[in-house]
Amino acid sequence: MRLRCAVLDDFQGVAGDFGDWSALSGEVEVVSLREHLTGEDELAAALAAFDIVVTLRERVPFPASLLDRLPRLRLLVASGMRNTVIDYAAAEANGVTVCGTASSSAPPVELTWALLLGLARSVVRENQNLRSGGPWQSTVGADLHGRRLGLLGLGKIGGQVARVGLAFGMRVSAWSQNLTKERAEEVGVEPAPSKEDLLATSDFVSVHLALGDRTRGLLGPAEFALLKPTAYLVNTSRAAIVDQGALLAALHEGRIAGAGVDVFDLEPLPAGHPMRTAPRLLATPHLGYVSYANYTTYYGQAVENIRAFLAGSPLRQLP
């Protein structure tokens, strides 16, 4: 009997185009699931008949309570080499091997700048006006050159965002709880003396922190009160770092010029969710990792991981 593999959250139905799944023919039946599964009961019922699951990033949690309900599962492949929503101890206890894939930081860096530039030059609004016969030139763009870009986080992605900002002629500063003077000098940016100083002095603020106990809710009402009314906020990192209620209030009350967001507390974003219609918001449906190169890596290496597992020599095991 062939093994069965479920590919989760293949929203566009393209997973089959980015890996040589034919290499598994005869041994594995691959089923693409295009609708997001929500809730442990729905996941347990849908995945009960599968031996292998391929999951994207940290979209679907695999806690012990779920893994205990999947006695047939033997291999879990997650895109990326870091995943905080899989219970590795429970996976091991249930005889489930967990493997990851490589992942490029370039796509989220590029999307960060797409959102920032789109906000600064009102690209969506001007395009809609042009296509609908609206006013010719209805906005005045916010300049980047000479303005301050404040980065919350200066890791791999934050460092790349900083270098683009410097190329635009921006003054770039950064802050995080772990940022060292040496790291700031390496990238060529100014270390902000505090989070509060960075927020109060920046014209554009971009979030590039990992989600954890110290960063959850890092930007709340008090922090939004520090931002300039002409400032823009971009978040392509994790939604929970920014208090969503505080963000919505700031947008509706016009206390900031705008925000660019690619991540949400609930994904996919439900119909009628207030983030879908908030003013001054440029939002995308978590496209940060969704690129040709990343998908080629994710699904190509997922196939490699499955083949290696079947051969008894798993690749890229996590954690």
> Among 183, 255, 267, 307, which one carries the catalytic annotation?
267
Please say if 196 is a catalytic residue.
no
103, 81 in Cβ contact below 8 A? yes
108, 289 in Cβ contact below 8 A? yes
Please say if 2 is a catalytic residue.
no
Confidence of residue 201 (pLDDT cuts 50, 70, 90): very high
What does the alpha-carbon distance between residue 66 and residue 226 come to, in Å, rounded to a whole number?
42
Q: DSSP strand E in 158-203: where? A: 171-175, 190-191
Please say if the pLDDT value at position 236 is more than 90: yes
> Among 148, 208, 286, 304, which one carries the catalytic annotation?
286
Q: What is the mean pLDDT of residues 30-45?
A: 96
Whether the model pTM is above 0.85: yes
Q: How many residues does the chain have?
A: 319
Please say if 238 is a catalytic residue.
yes
149, 187 in Cβ contact below 8 A? no
- DSSP code for 266: S
Q: What is the mean pLDDT of residues 155-159?
A: 98
Q: What is the mean pLDDT of residues 203-211?
A: 97
% of the chain residues with pLDDT over 70: 100
Identify the pLDDT of residue 220: 98
Residue 126: phi and psi, rounded to 5, are -65, -35
Q: Are strands 190-191 and 52-55 parallel, antiparallel or unpaired?
A: unpaired
Please say if the pLDDT value at position 36 is more than 90: yes
% of the chain residues with pLDDT over 90: 98
Q: pLDDT digit string (tens) for 79-90? A: 999 999 999 999
148, 173 in Cβ contact below 8 A? yes
Q: What is the mean pLDDT of residues 221-246?
A: 98
Identify the pLDDT of residue 1: 79
Q: What is the mean pLDDT of residues 24-41?
A: 95
With CA atoms as reference, report the closest residue to 112 among 244, 269, 289, 293. Answer: 289
Query: Mean pLDDT of all residues in the chain?
Result: 97
